[in-house]
Amino acid sequence: MKKRNLIIVIGIFVAVLIFFITKVNKGSTESAEVFAKVQRGQFRSEITASGELFAKSSVEIMGPGGMQGAGIYQTTLEHIIPEGTVVNAGDYVARLDQTELGTRLQQRRSDFTVSKSEFTQAKLDTAMELRKARDVMDNLLYEIERKKLVLKNSQYEPPAVVQEKQMELDRAEKQYLVEMENYELQRQKSVARMAGAEAKMQDDKAKLDALLDLQKQFTIMAPEPGMLIYKRDWRGNKMGVGAQINAWEPVVATLPDLTHMVSKTFVNEVDINNIKKGQKVEIGLDAFPDKRLTGQIFEVANMGQQRPNSDAKVFEIMVVVNESDTTLRPGMTTSNKVIAEVLDDVLFIPVEAVHSQGDSITYVIAKDGLSAVKQEVQLGKSNADQVVVIGGITEGLTLYLSDPSDMDDKPIKRISEGVKAIAKKD
């Protein structure tokens, strides 16, 4: 008898346990169901895209401007101060590799030494040659004076002797005139040779001086105060130590104007038709989640482009930031919410409530008394969270955000069947 009573008690306990488990599961299922109401009011059509802050204007810190003239077409950024460093005008910024410049300097020094030596040699040769020519003319003058004296003393000699002495004097004077002409030609030749040697020396010196001036420019200084921002190459990579500096675009870094910032962002091609200049933008900063800024679109790209590692085509848009904030820095990530359109007095529902069947029918699951019904809806504008409903349901209707059970086989009520059947029931 006691054994039978024990079995009955155990049976009752199991039944109660099963009852409670069933109630808990039922309560869990019911609590898992999430609902939303069809609302009426102002709706904002928004397009959200992440962007990056840039200065609207900036001063470029330039490298040497004479590299191309010196035959140096590319060099390496050997050192640069950390990005974000605040500098004053004249402060050190970076240093370029001087390996190729050093080779050219060594060659120019050698050329200048040779040309200087050649000029000095030309001056010495000229001095010696002209001195020799002057000595010859001095000797001839001495000889002319001597022959004049001989002629004078031969006045009482026979006429033939006097004539001979006269001829010797005439020959000496003639030779002196020839030597004077030769001296002048020699002088002009020496002047021309010295001028050529001096020109070559001056040219080599000018080239050497230009390289020495260029060498000073390989140490980069800040042209004005600001915060240093690394330049980006055509791939968008920051140009730090080891980057290549080209002679035709020797930009080393930039000093942005932080008082006027813009956000560069990219919008998907399916949304570009809703983007226009002048549209207002709400801007958030990933670095400062609590900070809210405002902006306005001032530039929209005419041509799309394909982003790296993506098949989607996007269009670049530029948003000017209205506020001037000392915390804003180039390179910060922004969340840009473009207010494409504002609609007043419309119905809208959460996007999670919308379902689709194929490509042609969109529907919602509405609460109809104690049951649920699939109702076709006609949709309008949308944003990331909500979508406008043009037809199919009424204000205040309760919709399922989570799919209730046993809905797969239920038919969809089309709009032509009437909305009244699932209108809000007071």
Q: Which pLDDT does position 8 carry in this prediction?
A: 59
- Note the maximum CA span of the chain: 195
For residues 248 and 127, membership in a common domain is answered with no
Residue 209 pLDDT exceeds 60: yes
Domain CATH code at residue 237: 2.40.50
Residue 18 pLDDT exceeds 90: no
Tell whether 409 is covered by a domain. yes
Mark which of 254, 275, 300 sits at the end of a domain.
254
What mean pLDDT do residues 378-392 have? 87
Q: Which pLDDT does position 105 carry in this prediction?
A: 93
Residue 9 pLDDT exceeds 70: no
Mark which of 217, 243, 267 sits at the end of a domain.
217
For residues 49 and 62, membership in a common domain is answered with no
For residues 366 and 415, membership in a common domain is answered with yes
Q: What percentage of the chain reaches a pLDDT higher than 70? A: 90
Tell whether 281 is covered by a domain. yes
Q: What percentage of the chain reaches a pLDDT higher than 90? A: 37
Tell whether 28 is covered by a domain. no
For residues 85 and 163, membership in a common domain is answered with no
Strands 398-400 and 386-391: unpaired
Mark which of 233, 254, 275 sits at the end of a domain.
254
Residue 426's pLDDT band, with cuts at 50, 70 and 90, is very low
* DSSP annotation string for 105-149: HHHHHHHHHHHHHHHHHHHHHHHHHHHHHHHHHHHHHHHHHHHHH
Looking up tokens 């346990």, which residue turns up?
17
Strands 378-382 and 386-391: antiparallel
* Secondary structure (3-state) at 316: strand
Split into its structural domains, the chain has a count of 3
Residue 29 pLDDT exceeds 60: no
What radius of gyration do the chain's Cα atoms show? 49
Q: Which pLDDT does position 14 carry in this prediction?
A: 56
Model confidence pLDDT, tens digit, residues 102-114:
999 999 999 999 9
Tell whether 186 is covered by a domain. yes
For residues 317 and 194, membership in a common domain is answered with no
Domain CATH code at residue 129: 1.10.287
* DSSP annotation string for 35-101: EEE-EEEEEEEEEEEEEEEEESSEEEEE--S-TTTTT--EEEEEEEPPTT-EE-TT-EEEEE--HHH
Q: Which pLDDT does position 421 carry in this prediction?
A: 43
Query: Torsions phi, psi of 184, nearest 5?
Result: -65, -45
Residue 188 pLDDT exceeds 50: yes
Query: Torsions phi, psi of 92, nearest 5?
Result: -65, 140
For residues 249 and 300, membership in a common domain is answered with no
For residues 52 and 186, membership in a common domain is answered with no
Partners of 119 in the β-ladder? none
Tell whether 7 is covered by a domain. no
Tell whether 27 is covered by a domain. no
For residues 247 and 319, membership in a common domain is answered with no
Tell whether 284 is covered by a domain. yes
Residue 273 pLDDT exceeds 60: yes
Domain that holds residue 305: 33-57+257-426
> Cα torsion at 229, 235, 240, 243 (round to 10°)?
-130
For residues 310 and 232, membership in a common domain is answered with no
For residues 147 and 182, membership in a common domain is answered with yes
> Could you tell me which residue, 413 or 236, shows the higher pLDDT?
413
Residue 31's pLDDT band, with cuts at 50, 70 and 90, is very low
* Secondary structure (3-state) at 276: coil
For residues 301 and 367, membership in a common domain is answered with yes
Burial class (CB in 10 A: 0-12, 13-18, 19+), 175: middle
Residue 23 pLDDT exceeds 50: no
Q: Which pLDDT does position 7 carry in this prediction?
A: 58
For residues 421 and 303, membership in a common domain is answered with yes
Domain CATH code at residue 283: 2.40.30.170
Least confident of 91-100, 151-160, 336-345: 151-160
Q: What is the mean pLDDT of the chain?
A: 85
Tell whether 324 is covered by a domain. yes
Reported residue count of the chain is 426
Model confidence pLDDT, tens digit, residues 161-183:
888 888 988 898 899 899 899 88
